[in-house]
Amino acid sequence: MSWKRTPVIITVAAVCLLAVSTIAHPKDLKIGYIDSGRILAESKDYGEAQKKLEELKADWQKQAAAKEEELRTLQEELERQRLLLSPETEREKEEEIKVKYEEYRNFVDTILSPETGKLAQKTQELSKPIYNKINTILEKIGEEEDYDIIFDAFPQTIVYAKPEYDLTEKVLEELNKEER
């Protein structure tokens, strides 16, 4: 089973479970939803984190481009001089190119890898406090206003919902209070 399908399966299971439980124990079911994409887009903290990430990414990409250019220059130099070089010097230049290529690949993998690189780690580090704030606000709204379930509409798991159940504005208000 794909992990990407898990939220949909959990959502369907939760709705089915609630439907069954409301049949067995009739009560008013209070459901709300948020648009986390909009919340993040309008969050000052998230915007600042994204700006920092873009600056880091641009700097690291610039470093990677410089390493790639150095590698390309060495390869072009070898091709221009190949006929004039002794076999031993040619092997040395090829080895130097190989070492520079490995340095370049290692840099890209270590820094820019979307799964394990420093950029991914920095994204996690800067985003986690924001997500924690949002989750705290959602828990507060859920408890204070007695919601049974709050869904996130952003990953498009909700096909229809009445606008009065949209809690996005409340979350933004609370989030913006804390950001001031």
% of the chain beyond a pLDDT of 70 = 80
What are the two backbone dihedrals, phi and then psi, of residue 165, each rounded to the nearest 5 degrees? -90, 0
- What's the rounded Cα separation, in Å, for the pair 80 and 78? 6
Flag whether 102 is in a domain: yes
Question: What is the total count of domains within the chain?
Answer: 1
Flag whether 155 is in a domain: no
Flag whether 9 is in a domain: no
Confidence label for 163 from pLDDT (cuts 50, 70 and 90): confident
Flag whether 148 is in a domain: no
pTM of the predicted structure, to 2 decimals: 0.69
Token digits for 12?
């369907």
Flag whether 144 is in a domain: no
pLDDT 10s digits, 53-100: 999 999 999 999 999 999 999 999 999 999 999 999 999 999 999 999
What are the two backbone dihedrals, phi and then psi, of residue 164, each rounded to the nearest 5 degrees? -70, -15
Flag whether 169 is in a domain: no
Nearest to 134 by CA among 49, 52, 54, 17: 49
Flag whether 82 is in a domain: yes
- What's the rounded Cα separation, in Å, for the pair 180 and 111? 33
Flag whether 177 is in a domain: no
Could you tell me the residue range of the domain that residue 98 belongs to?
A: 47-120
